[in-house]
């Protein structure tokens, strides 16, 4: 057999292998895309819908609201390290909140709270159907069921709460989820401008509160510059530390001003 014929057969075998390899890679890519689409349309394993009209959820939410109000307004012991002439402050005190209680409140009382706080100017966007949080291993998983009339899926983020030295509260995202598909924040939220429309629909991005929240989740601004709650009696409650673990959000606070 001539050298030319041998060379031709060799290159034909190479071409066939290249073609089959290309087909195989294309098939794998298509399968990966299809799998990603399936995952994005399935809720995360930790997700569970909550009926805001369920009487048990309403009771849990009311109990939580009453407990929070009680803890905020309790008389506290004076910090023994308080110096002469310093503004009054209490000893640090701690309280914890369960994920189940937080979810009951978010889905039965949040909308009314927002409306009362802003005299009706703020409300939950119509596209948001349910909200859910999970406190675990130093992270807060927060998700929302979004239904814009075309798609219905759970969007979520795994947040790392951090109270910095200047007292500001940060909640930058470690990952962002579309259904069960978990992606790096930069892929979905970007670093500037509108994020991926599958994560934050344009109708939500147009709301200033949503843009501020996305910037906080991007890690570009604090969620709160100064996490302080002003009380009606002239005192205030300042957040000193925050930790999520074992289904509970544990916070340490200090009451300031106005004495006991």
How many CB atoms within 10 Å of residue 211? 15
Contact 101, 76 (CB under 8 A): no
Run of H or E residues at 99: helix 99-108
- Pairwise CA distance, residues 38 & 112, whole Å: 35
pLDDT at 35: 41
- 3-state secondary structure (DSSP) of residue 220: coil
Identify the pLDDT of residue 176.
Answer: 84
pLDDT tens digits, residue range 49-89? 788 788 898 999 999 999 999 999 999 999 999 888 888 99
Q: Are 99 and 206 in contact (CB under 8 A)?
A: no
Summarize the confidence of residues 159-182 as an average pLDDT.
87
* Phi, psi (rounded to 5 degrees) for 48: -150, 130
Task: Quick: pLDDT tens for 7-46.
Answer: 556 556 656 665 555 555 555 545 544 544 544 667 788 8
The one-character DSSP state at 150 is: S
To the nearest 5 percent, what fractions of the chain are helix, strand and coil? 35, 30, 35
If you ran DSSP here, which 8-state letter would residue 19 be given?
H
The whole-chain average pLDDT of the chain stands at 79
237 contacts 214 by C-beta, under 8 angstroms:
no
């Amino acid at each position: 057999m001539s050298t030319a014929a041998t060379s031709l057969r060799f290159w034909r075998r190479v071409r066939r292998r290249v073609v089959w390899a290309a087909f195989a890679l294309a098939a794998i890519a298509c399968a990966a895309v299809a799998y990603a689409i399936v995952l994005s349309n399935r809720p995360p394993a930790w997700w569970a819908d909550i009926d805001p009209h369920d009487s048990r959820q309403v009771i849990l939410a009311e109990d939580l609201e009453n407990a929070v109000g009680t803890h905020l307004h309790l008389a506290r012991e004076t910090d023994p390290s308080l110096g002469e002439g310093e503004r009054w402050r209490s000893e640090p005190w701690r309280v914890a909140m369960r994920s189940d209680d937080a979810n009951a409140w978010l889905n039965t009382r949040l909308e009314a709270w927002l409306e009362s706080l802003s005299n009706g100017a703020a409300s939950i966007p119509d596209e948001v159907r349910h909200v859910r949080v999970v406190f675990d291993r130093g992270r807060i998983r927060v998700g929302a069921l979004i239904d814009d009339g075309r798609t219905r899926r759970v969007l979520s983020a795994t947040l790392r709460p951090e109270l910095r030295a200047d007292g500001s509260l940060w909640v930058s995202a470690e990952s962002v989820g579309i259904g069960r598909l978990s992606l790096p924040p930069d892929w979905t939220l970007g670093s500037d401008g509108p994020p991926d429309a599958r994560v934050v629909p344009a109708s939500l991005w147009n709301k200033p509160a949503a843009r501020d929240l996305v910037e906080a989740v991007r890690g570009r601004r604090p969620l709160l510059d100064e996490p302080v709650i002003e009380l009606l009696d002239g005192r205030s409650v300042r957040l000193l530390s925050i930790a999520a673990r074992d289904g509970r959000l544990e916070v340490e606070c200090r009451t300031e001003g106005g004495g006991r």
